[in-house]
Amino acid sequence: MNDNLNENLEHYNNEPSLHINDQNLINSLLPHYENTDIGIWCFEIDTENYSVMSRGIEYISGYPKEALENEIEWTSLVHPEDLPKFLENNKYLESGKISRQQYRIIDKHGRVKWLQDFTIPTIDTNGRLIKIDGITSDITEQKLMEEKLKFLSEYDPYTKLPNRRKFFNALETRFHKYEDKNRKFAVMTIDMDRFKFINDTLGHEIADELFKEVASRLNNLLSPYDLLARYGEDEFAILIDTIESIESITTIAERMINAFKEPFYIENYQLYATANIGVSTFPENGNNSIELIRNANLALYKSQKAGKNKYHIISHLSSIQSFKSFSLGRDLKKALENNEMVLHFQPRVDAFTNEIISAEALIRWNHPEWGIISPIEFLTIAEENGFIEDVDNWVLNEVCHQMKLLKERQILTVPISINISAVHFSVYNWQEKVASIIEDYGIDSKDLEFEITESLLLNNDDSVQHTLNALKSLGIKIVLDDFGTGYSSLSYLTHFPFDIIKIDKSFTQNMVINEKDLFIVKSIIFMAKGLNIKVVAEGVETLEQLKLLKEEQCDEIQGYLFSKPVPIEEFISLLKKKSLKPLDPSVKGAENKRKYNRIELPYPLEAEMRLVSFAGQSLQLGKSHALIQNVSIGGLRCITNLNLPVRGDIHLQFDTEILDQAIRLIGKVIWKEEMKEDLFVYGIEFVQNDEKQPSFKILLDQLNDELKKENGVFLKKMIKGDITVYFNKQKKFF
């Protein structure tokens, strides 16, 4: 309130003084003001008397004019909270300055009123204050309206909880609230399941009551400094003012999830709700409000993927990954418009003749900043953002378009298979849309195959079956993809009209080492033969796998052994060959591309890796892990499971210790190789200034000497064992 007072106090230093000292004028004005909320008065300093006081003052204060003139001091009416400021402001009058201020009084009936004073001092030739003229108006109504507006702009009118705006402002303020800027805090976003359902079926009064009940349960778990807000129709956001550790936030999140387990009693209803919680923390997950909220939402999304009543705290190690996911999410819509998507084609060959039978169209995103992005990375984002239909439609159109071009160029082609997401099966009359696209391009529908996964078959059999039959009657072949991974039920094979099943690559790859997997592969092939369904083995990488599959009479093979997915022009040259030879599966290692002598480390050195700038933009993100394999004065080679593009304007910072000395190295990615799925090797060239180099050079020389001595002092910080095992173990943190 005092702030208000301050804001509203103005001093008119330069204004020509308006002196209401013509008594006749005042007296003639008075009658006009007698019945209003405005009081006009004139106070004589010497006699301590009001020479003028209009009736308005009576209305405002509730006291009769006479009482105010003789017994009651005006200051005694001023609200105690506003009094010090009021007195201080009045002091200005002594120096002859006009003042305007707003303050509260308590009137005769005990009511609080907001007043505005406009006061004009009169100074004599000696500079002495002799008289004060004033206009006092009752602005209570206006103030109430202002407060109401402020409330409406900051609170949800139904539940009276702080709203999104208030939350955002509180979060902004939190960054500067404490002197200790490193005090950790957290942002939580909570999504309530079933809220929309309850809203639709029982009405919004019940739903709002439920929301309030939930809010009060959550509030009980919070400290008075935390802020719980209604962030969306069925969403809460919480600012946890201070957190001690990740464990403390885990405890809060667990208690919150538990708070949803008991039913809510609203009127005559016993209601159940579930929730998902996403948490991001400062400073690890962002240094501004937008980033923290985004990361909390990303965590929320991850928790939703894990099921109902789950929470997810954005890992401190995954900031680079989440930064990437967010930029991908942000850019996805544009990507389709800007033609940044490309199709690669991977041939499927006859297991015995090696002839190309078909090919799978696999999408890639050629992102202007991140380079080629795998569908695994962006399809979940597309699903989340509701773009998956657009993506798949683009693929269907593009496949048809490419087939048309091949036809025009008179290149003999093979049927192309397309991956279809489950969402299409809930699009009304989707098969008709497909039919019209095919017709527009003048493509033979027999040249198309649609791949679906088992998860689709779990629900609503009837409509799915109907759509599949309709597609099949168009002439499109239906492929059951990733067979064996999901909810495999053999009955699917007889209920649905599959032409082809694809054995998932996890079986193909494990069957050589695991007898059970081999048995599954054998059974699938055996069964499919009996049902007259063709079998394709996916992910075939070695001659040994090929041999086993041939022994079992597997029909077709798809995998790196014959070809990786390739761009259209390369695919055309494969088509021209008609049949493919299995490739030599020996893998090339990453070469040494640096000009300096490198030190090969006997065990990889663990480092904290941070993305410090990206495309000219400086970033402050949390750390990820990397393992340094070798290092020289000019650069290093490391392994991480982050997929980063090769570009000069990505600067990575590595913090590690060599011989008990903490070092920080900054460099750019100059080459990259995929080691395994989700594991990448990078060549880094240092970019930091050369001044630091002499000491780093000395350190490297020392390291070299130690290594020669093989006394292993420096191994303190190093990780023993197999890198892959290390990463597999760590995977859950990324």
Residues engaged in binding ligand C2E (CB under 6 A): 346, 361-363, 374-376, 379, 392, 395, 419, 421, 451, 481-482, 505, 538-541, 558-560, 565, 677
Residue 379 contact among Ca ion, ligand C2E, none, beta carbon within 5 to 8 Å by kind: ligand C2E
In the complex, the smallest distance separating the C-beta of residue 363 from ligand C2E, rounded to whole angstroms, is 4
What gap in Å lies between CA 231 and CA 237, rounded to an integer? 6
Asked if residues 41 and 50 have their Cβ atoms less than 8 Å apart, the reply is yes
Decide whether 143 or 424 has the Cβ nearer to ligand C2E: 424
Decide whether 452 or 607 has the Cβ nearer to Ca ion: 452
Cα dist. 630→23, 103, 664 in Å? 95, 72, 15
- Residue 706 is encoded by which pair of tokens? 């130690």
- Per-residue binding string, Ca ion, 518-557, x by CB under 5 A, is --------------------x-------------------
In the complex, the smallest distance separating the C-beta of residue 484 from Ca ion, rounded to whole angstroms, is 10
Decide whether 303 or 453 has the Cβ nearer to ligand C2E: 453
Decide whether 256 or 379 has the Cβ nearer to ligand C2E: 379
Hey, which residues between 476 and 505 contact Ca ion (CB under 5 A)?
A: 481-482
Residue 449 contact among ligand C2E, Ca ion, none, beta carbon within 5 to 8 Å by kind: none
Among 319, 419, 629, 640, binds Ca ion (CB under 5 A): 419
At 127, phi and psi to the nearest 5? 85, 20
In the complex, the smallest distance separating the C-beta of residue 382 from ligand C2E, rounded to whole angstroms, is 8
E strands present in 511-643: 534-537, 556-557, 599-614, 617-618, 624-631, 635-640
In the complex, the smallest distance separating the C-beta of residue 554 from Ca ion, rounded to whole angstroms, is 15
- Burial class (CB within 10 angstroms; exposed 0-12, middle 13-18, buried 19+) of 123: middle
Taken in order 405, 408, 410, 412, the sign of the CA dihedral is: positive
In the complex, the smallest distance separating the C-beta of residue 478 from ligand C2E, rounded to whole angstroms, is 14
Size of the site for Ca ion (CB under 5 A): 5
Characterize the bridge pairing of strands 129-138 and 275-282. Answer: unpaired
In the complex, the smallest distance separating the C-beta of residue 534 from ligand C2E, rounded to whole angstroms, is 16
Q: Cα dihedral angle (598, 599, 601, 604), rounded to 10 degrees? A: -40
Decide whether 4 or 421 has the Cβ nearer to ligand C2E: 421
- Residue 365 is encoded by which pair of tokens? 């995103």
Hey, which residues between 251 and 270 contact Ca ion (CB under 5 A)?
A: none
- Burial class (CB within 10 angstroms; exposed 0-12, middle 13-18, buried 19+) of 358: buried
Asked if residues 211 and 151 have their Cβ atoms less than 8 Å apart, the reply is no
Decide whether 18 or 376 has the Cβ nearer to ligand C2E: 376
Radius of gyration of the chain (CA): 37
Query: What are the beta bridge partners of residue 188?
Result: 238, 279
**If we measure between CA atoms, which residue out of 415, 476, 453 comes closest to residue 538?**
453
What gap in Å lies between CA 599 and CA 89, rounded to an integer? 74
In the complex, the smallest distance separating the C-beta of residue 365 from ligand C2E, rounded to whole angstroms, is 10
Decide whether 565 or 645 has the Cβ nearer to Ca ion: 565
Decide whether 441 or 603 has the Cβ nearer to ligand C2E: 441
- Residue 114 is encoded by which pair of tokens? 């907001």
Decide whether 139 or 342 has the Cβ nearer to ligand C2E: 342
In the complex, the smallest distance separating the C-beta of residue 455 from ligand C2E, rounded to whole angstroms, is 11
Decide whether 275 or 644 has the Cβ nearer to ligand C2E: 644
In the complex, the smallest distance separating the C-beta of residue 430 from Ca ion, rounded to whole angstroms, is 19
In the complex, the smallest distance separating the C-beta of residue 643 from ligand C2E, rounded to whole angstroms, is 11
Residue 117 contact among Ca ion, ligand C2E, none, beta carbon within 5 to 8 Å by kind: none
- Residue 451 as a binder of Ca ion (CB under 5 A): the answer is yes
Query: What are the beta bridge partners of residue 679?
Result: 676
Asked if residues 399 and 359 have their Cβ atoms less than 8 Å apart, the reply is no
Of the ranges 250-258, 335-343, 419-427, 641-649, which one interacts with Ca ion (CB under 5 A)? 419-427
What gap in Å lies between CA 225 and CA 186, rounded to an integer? 12
In the complex, the smallest distance separating the C-beta of residue 395 from ligand C2E, rounded to whole angstroms, is 4
Residue 82 contact among ligand C2E, Ca ion, none, beta carbon within 5 to 8 Å by kind: none
Asked if residues 536 and 543 have their Cβ atoms less than 8 Å apart, the reply is no
Residue 375 contact among ligand C2E, Ca ion, none, beta carbon within 5 to 8 Å by kind: ligand C2E
Residue 346 contact among ligand C2E, Ca ion, none, beta carbon within 5 to 8 Å by kind: ligand C2E
Decide whether 189 or 509 has the Cβ nearer to ligand C2E: 509
Asked if residues 410 and 679 have their Cβ atoms less than 8 Å apart, the reply is no
Decide whether 26 or 420 has the Cβ nearer to Ca ion: 420
Residue 539 contact among Ca ion, ligand C2E, none, beta carbon within 5 to 8 Å by kind: ligand C2E
Decide whether 50 or 727 has the Cβ nearer to ligand C2E: 727
Residue 209 contact among ligand C2E, Ca ion, none, beta carbon within 5 to 8 Å by kind: none
Cα dist. 246→19, 316, 421 in Å? 67, 10, 37
- Per-residue binding string, Ca ion, 556-595, x by CB under 5 A, is ----------------------------------------
What gap in Å lies between CA 668 and CA 648, rounded to an integer? 6
In the complex, the smallest distance separating the C-beta of residue 341 from ligand C2E, rounded to whole angstroms, is 9
What gap in Å lies between CA 398 and CA 365, rounded to an integer? 14
In the complex, the smallest distance separating the C-beta of residue 513 from ligand C2E, rounded to whole angstroms, is 15
- Type of residue at 519: F
Asked if residues 496 and 478 have their Cβ atoms less than 8 Å apart, the reply is yes
Taken in order 632, 592, 647, 602, the sign of the CA dihedral is: negative
User: Phi/psi zone of residue 710: left (φ > 0), alpha (ψ -120 to 50 degrees), beta?
Assistant: left
What gap in Å lies between CA 491 and CA 56, rounded to an integer? 89
Residue 685 contact among Ca ion, ligand C2E, none, beta carbon within 5 to 8 Å by kind: none
Altogether, the residues listed in the chain come to a count of 734
In the complex, the smallest distance separating the C-beta of residue 412 from Ca ion, rounded to whole angstroms, is 23
Q: Cα dihedral angle (200, 205, 210, 211), rounded to 10 degrees? A: 90
Q: Which residues bind Ca ion (CB under 5 A)?
A: 419, 451, 481-482, 538
